[in-house]
Amino acid sequence: MNVTQFLRAVWPATGYFALATPWTPPGASNAVFVHKVVQSHADAILAAEKLSPANDVYFCVQSLAEPRVWNPKKRNRKTGEEGAYEVRTQRNMCEAKCLVMDIDVGTDDHKYPSQAEALRNLKQFATSAGLPAPIVVSSGMGLHVYWPFTNALPTARWAQIAAKLKALAVAKGLKIDPTRTADAASVLRLPGTLHHKGTPRPVQILRGGECTPAEEIEHRLDAALAACDVAVQVPSRPPAYLEGFADNTTIHTSPPPGIKAVILACPQMQYAMANAASLSEPMWYAALGLIRHTREGDKAAHKFSAKDARYSATEVESKLANLAAQDIGPTTCTKFDTINPGVCAGCPQWGKIKSPIVGAKFTDYAPPPAAPVVKGAPQPTVTIPTAPHPYKRLATGVYIDISVKPKKGEEDEIQLTETVKILDHDFYPVRRYRDPYRITETHVWCAVLPLVGMTEIHLPAEAMYDTKKLSQLLSNNGVFVAQNAVNMVGNYMVAYIKQLQRAAVADVVYGALGWTDDMQEFVLPHKVIRADGTDKVPTMDQGAQRTVSAVHAAGEMSRQLDLLKFFNHPEYAPNQFAICAALGAPLLYMTGHHGVIVNMSGKPGASKSTTLYTCASLWGHPEKMTLNGTSQGATAQARDNRMMIMSNLPLTVDEITRMPPRAMADMAMSVTQSEGRVRLDTTGTERKTLQGSKSTIMLCTANTSLYSALASDRADSTAESVRVFEILFNPQQVHTKAQADTYLSDLKENYGHIGEAFITYVIAHRDEVQQQVRTIMQAIDTRMAISGGERFWSAVAAVACAACEIGAKLGLLPYDVRTLWAWLSREQIPFMRSAMSEQYLHPVSILAEYLETINANMLVLQTASTVQGWHSNMPTIIRQPTSTQLLARHEIDKGLMWVQKKGFKEYCTRLGHNYTTIIRTLTEDKVISNKSILKVLGAGTDYAKGQSSCMLVNMFNQLLSGELAAAEKLRSPDSKVITFPPQGSTSGQ
């Protein structure tokens, strides 16, 4: 048997365990014990290994109820005042798992002369008593004997059996130390250590033993005692605390409470304080008997008594002295109830404690940890463990018991001597959650702040190891930690989180709403809806919480359904389509697209904003879900962040009329992408930020056409425009303004019900719905002759029609999909095609526009002319450049123009044109006869410089007939020409 097996046999499995080493204070003649309290067998063995080389190491055979207890009568060796901590007291013993004997070896009559003699007598005793073979340990001199139990017993029960063993040993003449066998707080030497008296000798196990049920050992003892005709007086009244009967008036785990705590805990004391000026003598004396046991009790007793006109300081001192002389404990609850009946019955502690002093100590402790309750939100079941040892959560803050090793000149008997306050208020973790996509862990802590109460604080896990970051985050949340306590607070947090980690698995945190990767779950802020019909309460990432807070329900679903009838009129087909698109936004991924813009344009008063709010109301608060699209509203980054968090829910943006065209173009391109900004983790690996893929519909309003705005940014805005489904809203006369105002007011009170009902159906029938969407999209593509460039249009149309069909089927929408279909085919698709055709620029038009922009940089001339009968081969300048940079040379008589490639390429890039495609098209149309030729643009003139890389344009091409007509005009006799002199003069003449 080794030491680990030994402790497992003789110690309870769990609890507080004490090691003790003798220490003689300076100037003292007697040694005292210094204690080390641990919470596991393994920790005890490690501590003993460190202590053994220089110390005698003992262990308390029983476990402790508390790591230390307060003795108000014990004198503190440091301060000289009454009140100090203790470890091994009879009242602090908790459980025992063995019976023990201490058999000494020596020359005295009550000792055996040798260990061999002691062993023979022990064997004879055990055999005659019918006891099982015990564990025998050599203490280095004598023997320590243990009969281990199968299970641990409460100390009070153990005391009865131990008394019988002691009586039997005495009756049979076994030479034992009589003080050990029945002493619950006794210590014996720990096997594996050294006996340091004289020459160090090992404390070792001589033989092992088997565990036996305590009842069987007691039965054998009873039989042996009966055979010897020995009567045993077992303890008739075991310590009440050890039996669990709330006597705590003689055991204190902390210093006495203050008078305020006593008053808060006891209705009788509240009565006494309220009537202190006229209390009866018995009630005053009972209150005095309680007050004197509080912190600074004598001072409080005088202050309390002075409220009565009969107050006499001498009388108070006399009463206090009398109580102290008789060692009378705190007044009991029963005593108070006898003197002043009818008050105690309403106390929540009545019948649970013996004295209000215990209730006061209870009120000094913080209440059990609990998660803050958010009104209207579902509350997950949370099991929060108590504070880990050696920390304490009290009503006045968080404390730590610091183990202080005695120094020379100190006379402490225990190592746990100092309690340090590290926080001024209660602070504990509520839950852990882990983001598997960002690979981070966040902890939610609850701080009970003054005047505020329970407050949730979200802290990243790494902050516990960074004191600077921790102090900043805590202080920003109202938790102010002293600089010298930040480390201790961090250690407290780590210890508590470890305990929480053992108690429960961390929640998975969701950073966005919508579909998960496997498409088996759909995340809403208050519920994760699953394909199997179940749901759970999600934990949302802190960064997403404010964004998703707008997604919730209010009012009544029946009223929201009734409100949607407002737009159930043929004139409102565009409005119905937008509403259906917003409901069907989670279906867009089924079309293979990641985003599209539905822009509602038109004059003010055309119900654009009302329709937009209706779209948002399907999923949450109509206004809070809608972003402000003006220059004073959401930034592009904020809008993109909202879109990524909403993920598959619609994004509504009101009034983008004043948005810069370049920002509109960026918005149109970004909405169709599956992800936002790609970020790297600490290893340089791309980090996924969402649990699914973004695929949604952005619904906007504007007073002007988004197509026109995009075209103003670049001549060819086709790439951006095809990503926009623009609906032209015209003012209708179906409702009056008053009716519209009433509708909108009601909408703000009844919202958020329809979207959840819709997506619950979709999740349960996802494959069927996906096939429905794709079938509708194929029908639209075929019947409306949708081209590849118009694929975004058919996608959003399919989603809206599918949502309309499903909504009508479920009774969620009052609209007829046939109305939408007719509107799409007769009005909407033709309208968008017409708008797009107006935006498209043929490459020839782009080239022509470019040539117009460089008129000031163009040299126009005629290569041969006849002046006054004289024929000249020298070029004649028709128009000279007015800018210093020459970008083109136009020889009008030949119909040729050399255009510098660099300038044209920069122009195309600036306006977003595809230069390569334009050149290829112009070459195929024979507008460009040579796409790469070297030419001195100013040849034959004073503008001549080096060669430029040019393209040669055929100005006689029919597509450029307008330019040819202009050239013909220049060649007419009426045209003014500037003759280029044969020699001597400059072109500037």
Residue 979: pLDDT band (50, 70, 90) is: very low
Q: Is 209 or 779 the better-scoring residue by pLDDT?
A: 779
> Is residue 255 reached through a cis peptide bond, with omega within 30 degrees of 0 on the bond before it?
no
State yes or no: pLDDT of 965 exceeds 60: no
Of 802, 834, 806, 836, which Cα lies nearest the Cα of 821? Answer: 802
Q: What is the pLDDT of residue 401?
A: 67
CA pair distance 632, 807, nearest whole angstrom: 36
From CA 139, how far away is CA 189, in angstroms rounded? 6
Tokens of 272: 């006494």
Q: What is the pLDDT of residue 986?
A: 31
Candidates 535, 541, 538; CA nearest to 520 is 535
- Number of Cα atoms under 13 Å in the Cβ half of residue 611: 34
Tokens of 788: 């590849």
Residue 618 scores a pLDDT above 80: yes
Angle at alpha carbon of residue 667, lines to 663 and 669, rounded to 5°? 120
Task: Label each residue of 406-422 as H, E or C.
Answer: CCCCCCCCECEEEEEEE
Q: Where does the pLDDT of residue 598 fall: very low under 50, low under 70, confident under 90, or very high at 90 and above?
A: very high
- Tens of pLDDT, residue by residue over 74-114, are 777 666 677 778 888 888 899 999 999 999 988 888 899 99
Contact indicator for 331, 293 with CB cutoff of 8 Å: no
Residues 6 or more apart from 575 whose CB is under 8 A from it? 567, 607, 611, 614, 729
CA distance 644 to 942: 61
pLDDT at 869: 53
Q: For 663, left (φ over 0), alpha (ψ -120 to 50), or beta?
A: alpha
Give residues with Cβ within 8 angstroms of 795, minimum separation 6: 588, 591, 592, 593, 596, 777
Query: Measured between alpha carbons, how far is 285 from 320 in angstroms, rounded to an integer?
Result: 9
Which of 445-459, 530-544, 610-624 tops mean pLDDT? 610-624
Taking every pair of C-alpha atoms in the chain, what is the biggest distance, in angstroms?
A: 164
Dihedral angle at the C-alpha atoms of 160, 166, 168, 172, nearest 10 degrees?
180
Q: Angle at which helices 915-924 and 843-853 pack, to 10 degrees?
A: 110
Return the pLDDT at 872: 57
Q: Is 19 helix (H, G, I), strand (E, B) or coil?
A: strand
Supply the pLDDT for residue 151.
93
**Whether 726 contacts 832, CB under 8 Å:** yes
For residue range 431-460, list pLDDT tens digits in order: 888 887 777 888 989 998 988 888 889 899
CA distance to 171, 232, 526, per residue, from 226 (Å): 11, 10, 71
Domains parsed from the chain with CATH numbers? 3-227 (3.30.70.1790), 259-358 (no CATH), 423-510 (no CATH), 514-544 (no CATH), 553-675+691-839 (no CATH), 843-969 (no CATH)
Strand partners, 454: 448
Residue 308 has pLDDT above 70, yes or no: yes
Q: Give helix 706-713 / helix 829-839 axis angle, nearest 10°.
A: 20
Give me the pLDDT at residue 218, please: 92
Average pLDDT over residues 776-798: 93
Taking the C-alpha atoms of residue 756 and residue 738, their distance in angstroms, rounded to an integer, is: 30
For 201: left if phi > 0, alpha if psi spans -120 to 50, otherwise beta; the answer is beta
Q: Copy the structure tokens of residue 136.
A: 């025998």
The closest alpha carbon to 585, from 643, 541, 544, 527, belongs to 643
Percent of the chain past pLDDT 70, that is, above it, reads 86
Q: Is the pLDDT of residue 808 over 90?
A: yes
Q: Would you state the structure tokens that stand for residue 451, as one six-digit string?
A: 């005047």
Find where tokens 């460190």 sit: 50
- Say which range, 153-157, 246-250, 292-296, 373-377, has the weakest mean pLDDT: 246-250
- Spatial contact of 557 and 757, defined as CB atoms under 8 Å apart: yes
The pLDDT tens digits of the residues spanning 216-230 come to 999 999 999 988 888
- Sorted by sequence, the CB contacts under 8 Å of residue 826 that are 6+ apart come out as none
DSSP state at residue 662: H
Instruction: Please give the mean pLDDT across all residues of the chain.
Output: 84
**Segments of 204-283 assigned E as strands:** 204-207
Region for 350 from its dihedrals, namely left if φ exceeds 0, alpha if ψ lies in -120 to 50, beta otherwise: beta
Per-residue pLDDT, averaged over 738-764, amounts to 95
Q: Is the pLDDT of residue 18 over 70?
A: yes
Q: In degrees rounded to 5, what are phi and psi of residue 66? A: -135, 155
Decide: 794 and 786 in contact? Cβ < 8 Å. Answer: yes
- Give the residue carrying structure tokens 């042996």: 224
Q: In this structure, what token pair is assigned to residue 697?
A: 């519909």
C-beta neighbour count of 898 within 10 angstroms: 23
Over residues 400-423, the pLDDT tens digits come to 866 545 444 444 443 433 567 788
Q: What is the DSSP string of 329-375?
A: -PPPHHHHHHHSTTSGGG-TTTTT-SSHHHHHHHHHBPPPP-PPPPT
3-state secondary structure of 491: helix
Give the Cα-Cα-Cα angle 762, 763, 769 (nearest 5 degrees). Answer: 40
Pairing of the two strands 870-872 and 876-879: unpaired
Q: Where are the beta strands (DSSP E) in 496-650?
A: 507-510, 514-515, 521-524, 527-530, 535-536, 539-540, 595-602, 626-628
Whether 844 contacts 960, CB under 8 Å: yes
Whole-number pLDDT of residue 679: 57
Q: Work out the average pLDDT over 753-780.
A: 95
Q: Is residue 55 a contact partner of residue 16, using CB atoms and an 8 Å limit?
A: no
Distance between CA atoms of residues 475 and 478, nearest Å: 5
- Per-residue model confidence as pLDDT tens digits over 180-204: 888 888 999 999 999 988 888 999 9
Q: Using CA atoms, how far apart are residues 86 and 84, in angstroms rounded to an integer? A: 7
Rounded (10°) angle between helices 753-764 and 573-583 = 60
Angle at 176 between CA 173 and CA 178, to 5 degrees: 105
Sheet holding 527-530, edge to edge: 514-515, 521-524, 527-530, 535-536
Q: Give the pLDDT band (50/70/90) at residue 597.
A: very high
Burial class (CB in 10 A: 0-12, 13-18, 19+), 879: middle
Q: Are strands 32-38 and 17-23 parallel, antiparallel or unpaired?
A: antiparallel
pLDDT value of residue 30: 78
User: Is a pLDDT exceeding 80 seen at residue 297?
Assistant: yes
**Whole-angstrom distance, CA of residue 577 vs CA of residue 815:** 9
